[in-house]
């Protein structure tokens, strides 16, 4: 696995963990983009949208478009991955809590 794949896996985990912590388990792409920067991921909006599309394909989130903005909503499966209860190739597994 190369470095860019590891970055993508971590970015996807961060998105799922952010959704886990939000009311209604949802957030729009703009908020996710800003929050990803707080976790050291400087990405383009296109990359965030691509990650959201990938997560939706894996049934880890659902998405809806409102006024040209993508809203991401975590699924039960996505929450299980965020919590380390399920493993999905392409998403970094969270470290155990100490």
pLDDT per residue as tens digits for the range 39-83: 999 999 999 999 999 999 999 999 999 999 999 999 999 999 999
Q: Which two tokens stand for residue 58?
A: 């894996």
* Separation in Å, CA 66 to CA 2, 34, 81: 35, 19, 26
**CATH among 3.40.50.300, 1.10.10.10, 3.20.20.70, 3.90.1150.10 for 3-82:** 1.10.10.10
Average pLDDT over the chain, rounded to whole? 96
- pLDDT of res. 98: 63
pLDDT at 92: 97
Residue tagged 């998105």 (tokens): 15
State the pTM of this model. Answer: 0.95
SS3 state at 92: coil
DSSP state letter for 91: S
DSSP 8-state code for residue 84: T
Domain boundaries, the chain: 3-82
């Amino acid at each position: 696995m190369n470095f860019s794949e590891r970055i993508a896996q971590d970015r996807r985990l961060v998105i799922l963990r952010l959704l886990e912590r939000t009311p209604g388990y949802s957030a729009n792409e703009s908020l996710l983009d800003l929050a990803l920067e707080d976790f050291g991921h400087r990405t383009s909006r296109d990359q965030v949208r691509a990650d959201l599309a990938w997560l939706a394909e894996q049934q880890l989130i659902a998405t809806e478009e409102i006024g040209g903005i993508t809203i991401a909503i975590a699924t039960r499966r996505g929450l299980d991955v965020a919590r380390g209860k399920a493993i999905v190739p392409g998403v970094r597994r969270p470290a155990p809590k100490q």
